[in-house]
Structure 1
Amino acid sequence: MKYLSFILIGFITLTSFKTLSVKTDKNITTPTAYFAKNINIPFLLKDFVGFKEALAFKESQGKYRVVNKLGYLGKYQFGKETLKRFRIYNTTYFLKTPELQEKAFIAYCKVNKWILRKDIKRSVGKTINGTKITESGILAAAHLSGAGNVKKYLRSNGTLKFNDAFGTSIKSYMKKFAGYDTSNVSANKNPRI
């Protein structure tokens, strides 16, 4: 139960969740089972908040202060070079400032949407390598591999593939993060934080 609670805490947002009531057997004898009798389990909507929280959970289990073995930082696992694009040079401060990480994620989505705007228009709705292409899938894949690699993947109709250092593919991110509503993210060549 404590692991379930830990996972759920990583997904809760104040702006985007519904609850699902769970009913259990009336003959409950353990304290944990008693607690679970009338628990409300939050789940994410398929909106932008749901998208960013699901991506964050995949990247870092939603933890702001995580640095992975390759040096990627924070809740969304940013590289230092990507952060420099947004004039973020102090990585210690970045790790300690959740608000800055959230703003950096939104700015990165905006610039990726601007870079990939033509590819989004051409590719959304198509199926490549058995995966239906959606805007949110494209934005997630760009977060994983960079917009340039996503362009190559889409323009080659999936023949040029990319895997990150952990073996995660563009295709897997496009599939896992498909169908979220990211329409409120405005394409912006030079977003500011």
Structure 2
Amino acid sequence: MTLNINGLIQGTHAEFSHSTVQLDEFVLERKSIKSLLEDLSMIEIINIIDDETLIDKINILQYKESIAKKETGNIPNPYQVVNRYGYAGKYQFGKSALRTLRDNKLIDFDIDRDGEKVFLNDSLLQEQTLNALILYNLNYIKKKNLYRYVGKKINGTRITVEGMLAGSHLVGVHAVSHFLENNGSMDDFYIYGKLCRKYDGNGVSLIVYMKLFEHV
């Protein structure tokens, strides 16, 4: 039995119950977000993924654990953390990323309307927001056909889907795209008139994050 997307998203209560059974089978089949993006929109996918869903080779939970370790480590109550640059929560989200996800209807939270305090006090929202960011960046990677770099070694780093996502989490998916398409160049560049760098404010490069997943 295959996943009934229409029943899951648009159906009546009875249809939803039936689709929940099919969703369980979807989870058991371990269908990846990478493959789901071949047939479904981001809006459809965001409603059916959870921590057990595969990204490509590993599931979302495994990815989250590695990202959280880099972003907030063993800090008590990481959901409440705000760094000196204003990045917030367990996964250190910037306001620009939150606005992008809201504009693409992948999250309901509006940082300008609801405020940072709401975000910091809602751990579930933060987990859902990272799911949304994974999906948004993976969709961009697909559109730019960056999959063609998977398995190649660039600037000393073996490229994987999860590695591209991790680099995107740190400095944005445009920086990862520029890095790959310019043979591992670490030079700054401009996009839409905005300066983009391949290092964060602490001097950590996208390569450090991409290497987290080079052996998945």
Classify the TM-score, shorter chain.
0.5 to 0.7
The question of 1:68 aligning with 2:80 is answered no
In 2, Cα distance between the equivalents of 1:110 and 1:179?
21
Matched-pair contact (CA < 8 Å) for 1:137–1:179: no
Residue identity over aligned pairs, in percent, reads 40
Shift of 1:46: 4.8
**Does the aligned pair in 2 maintain the 1:144–1:164 contact within 8 Å?**
yes
Q: Is this contact kept in 1: 2:150–2:160, CA < 8 A? A: yes
Which of 80, 100, 104 matches 1:85? 100
Structure 2 contact 149–159 (Cα < 8 Å) conserved: yes
The separation in 1 between residues aligned to 2:215 and 2:63, in whole angstroms, is 9
TM-score (norm 1): 0.66
Question: How far apart are the structure 2 equivalents of 1:154 and 1:101?
Answer: 29
Instruction: Output the CA distance in 2 between the equivalents of 1:131 and 1:149.
Output: 15
Per-residue CA deviations over 1:47-69 (Å, capped at 9, x if unaligned) read: 32111111012101261110001
Partners in 2 of 1:71 and 1:125 — Cα distance?
35
Contact in 1 for aligned 2:81/2:88 (Cα 8 Å): yes
Higher Cα Rg, which structure: 1
* Contact persistence 2:72–2:91 (CA under 8 A): yes
Determine the C-alpha separation between the residues in 2 that align with 1:123 and 1:160: 17
Number of equivalenced pairs: 138
Q: Which ranges of structure 1 fall in alignment gaps of 5 or more residues?
A: 1-14, 17-44, 181-193
CA displacement, residues 98-151 of structure 1 (integer Å, 9 cap, x when unaligned): 000001001011010011113432110000011110000000000000011111
Partners of 1:109 and 1:52 lie apart in 2 by: 10
Counterpart of 1:163 in structure 2 is 199
How far apart are the structure 2 equivalents of 1:74 and 1:119?
31
Whole-Å separation in 1 of the counterparts to 2:59 and 2:101: 25
1:53 aligns with 2:65: yes
- The SS at the match of 1:50 is helix
Q: 1:23 is matched with which residue?
A: none
- 1:11 is aligned to none
1:84 Cα deviation from its structure 2 partner:
1.6
What's the secondary structure of 1:58's corresponding residue? helix
Letter in 1 for 2:71: E
RMSD: 1.9
Please tell me the residue identity of whatever aligns with 2:173. Answer: A
Q: 2:211 aligns with which of 175, 182, 190?
A: 175
CA deviation after TM superposition for structure 1 residue 163, in Å: 1.1
Give the drift of 1:174: 0.8
Assess, with a 3 A threshold, how the Cα gap between structure 1 residues 170 and 119 changes in structure 2: closer, same or farther.
Answer: farther
Among 157, 165, 188, the residue aligned to 1:139: 165
- The residue identity in structure 1 corresponding to 2:134 is C
Contact 1:119 1:151 in 2 (8 A): no
1-side partners of 2:211 and 2:145: how far apart? 17
Q: Distance in 2 between matches of 1:81 and 1:163?
A: 17
Shift of 1:159: 1.7
Matching residue's letter, 1:134: T
RCO higher in structure (CA 8 A, sep ≥6): 1
Contact 1:145 1:170 (8 Å CA) reproduced: yes
